[in-house]
Structure 1
Amino acid sequence: MVLYRNNDALMCKISSTTLQGEAQDWFHTLLPRSIQSFDDLSLVFTKEYSSYHSIKKKPDHLFNVKNNPKELLRDYVKRFKAEKAKIVGCDDLIASTTFQQGLPADHPLFKELIMKEDLTLADSFALAEKHALWDDA
């Protein structure tokens, strides 16, 4: 990394490849274009982990993550992903189920999710993205 210290974009990309587990999950919850330089990334990372005490959350924590009535679907997905990232080794089936249960029963995405069998969490997020695009139209 010393060779590329003058290239912020490359430094950010290289540093992200060194992260593992919860830190890597956290990195992927950062908003696009929210980091402008390697110094920004360092500051955000330090704020997140300098006083970090590993408070182990269990997968059932995700049952508390609900889509608020006035919350956009994309915001719910982003918040859900951030909460899931706090759970090391979270089972996809549990996460997928809790994601679905966090939606209101009258939400079109909820109705679509319950009609499909064997959806992975990635499949659920992909369907959510389609619904979020429809909401924007």
Structure 2
Amino acid sequence: MYNGKTDPVEHVSHFNQRMAVNSRDKAWMCKVFPSSLGPIAMKWFDSLKADSINSFKELTQAFGSRFITCSRVPRPLSSLLSLSMRERKTLKTYSDRDWEMYNEMDSNFEDVAISTFKSGLPTEHGLRKSLTGKPITNLCQLMDRIDKYKRVEEDQQMGKGKDKVIP
């Protein structure tokens, strides 16, 4: 259901995927499209003038134009460059933010992503030292290395809790 708050292009894309079997029947697509709309978008659809839409393409263009303010804007490369691991934050938190930011970019900056992730780590962090000593060449290798260090971090955090005595 389209709630009027998410990217309309993504919604149309998902709708087209769900309707792939019937995608040649554009009249049917026009008739079924409203069933994918929530209350806000349905209000817009109901306000369309009779015979104002002549094709499924026109319908999706009108839909996109109406909800354009909800379109997802790709993140610029500079947003990835500005990330760093802050004091007292976990590697998991830092890597989750980094991957989220990377995935919101339209272009593939794999080499930049690797470099900026490494430089965003504190100089004394074990993972940064590892990436400097044994450089990696792709994101899969980086993700594997991060996972190893996250497991160590999680084990260390669990170990801290074991020392506490419960009265």
Unpaired stretches in structure 2, ≥5 consecutive residues: 1-13, 18-37, 39-66, 156-167
TM-score computed with the length of structure 2 as normaliser: 0.49
Q: Does 1:119 align with 2:141?
A: no
- Gap change, CA 1:93 and 1:118, over 3 Å in 2: same
Instruction: Give the number of aligned pairs.
Output: 91
Contact 2:75-2:101 at 8 Å conserved across structures: no
**TM-score, scaled relative to structure 1:** 0.59
Is contact 1:96-1:120 (8 Å) kept?
yes
Cα distance in 1 for residues equivalent to 2:119 and 2:84: 8
Q: Which residue of 2 aligns with 1:98?
A: 116
Out of 52-61 and 114-123, give the one that drifted further. 52-61
1:85 aligns with 2:79: no
Q: Retained in 2: the 8 A contact 1:63–1:101?
A: no
Q: Secondary structure at the match of 1:57?
A: coil
Q: CA RMSD in A?
A: 2.1
Q: Which amino acid aligns with 1:135?
A: E
* One-letter amino acid of the counterpart of residue 106, structure 1: E
Q: Distance in 1 between matches of 2:148 and 2:107?
A: 27
State the AA in 2 paired with 1:55. V
State whether structure 2 residue 79 is matched by structure 1 residue 58: no
Unmatched 5+ stretches in structure 1: 1-14, 19-42, 44-49
Q: How does 1:4-83 map to 2 (within 5 A)?
A: 18=17, 51-83=69-101
Q: What corresponds to 1:130 in structure 2?
A: 148
Aligned equivalents of 2:127 and 2:135: distance in 1? 14
Contact kept? 2:118, 2:128, Cα under 8 Å: yes
The sequence identity of aligned pairs, in percent, is 19
* C-alpha deviation, 1:55, in angstroms: 2.9
Aligned partners of 2:118 and 2:131 also within 8 Å? yes
Match of 2:127 in 1: 109
- Does the CA-based 8 Å contact 1:67-1:104 persist in structure 2? yes
The structure showing larger relative contact order (alpha-carbon pairs under 8 Å, at least 6 residues apart) is 1
